[in-house]
Amino acid sequence: DAGVTQSPTHLIKTRGQQVTLRCSPISGHKSVSWYQQVLGQGPQFIFQYYEKEERGRGNFPDRFSARQFPNYSSELNVNALLLGDSALYLCASSLTGTALTYEQYFGPGTRLTVT
């Protein structure tokens, strides 16, 4: 079975532009979470979606938004890009979005560079 897939692998954008990152969860998984990882730090939680609804949101500005589609894939959108948005964006899928989910499966990430 395929694991979590993310596209694109790498992306270079200019300050002020908008970007859309995509994620396909493991087949059968209904929950998708997004994380941002800047160099030298652990991943930081951005959003969790379950059954197409936002279930949780981390401490990120409104420039960050996401959505989940009926096939459980997800998109992360970032508007008005800042240099500080340069990071590895990770998507994780899990069976459910509720407690006792235990394991999250991470994709390889999308490396975003803002110049």
Partner 1 sequence: DAKTTQPTSMDCAEGRAANLPCNHSTISGNEYVYWYRQIHSQGPQYIIHGLKNNETNEMASLIITEDRKSSTLILPHATLRDTAVYYCIVDGGGGGADGLTFGKGTHLIIQP
When the beta carbons of 64 and 106 are compared against partner 1, the nearer one is 106
- Per-residue string for binding with partner 1, 28-57, x by CB under 8 A? -----x-x----xxxxxxx-x------xx-
* Cis peptide preceding 70, ω within 30 of 0: no
Measure Cα distances from 82 to 7, 48, 104, 107, 113 in Å. 20, 23, 29, 24, 10
When the beta carbons of 14 and 102 are compared against partner 1, the nearer one is 102
Residues in contact with partner 1 by CB under 8 A are: 4, 33, 35, 40-46, 48, 55-56, 58, 90, 92, 94, 97-109
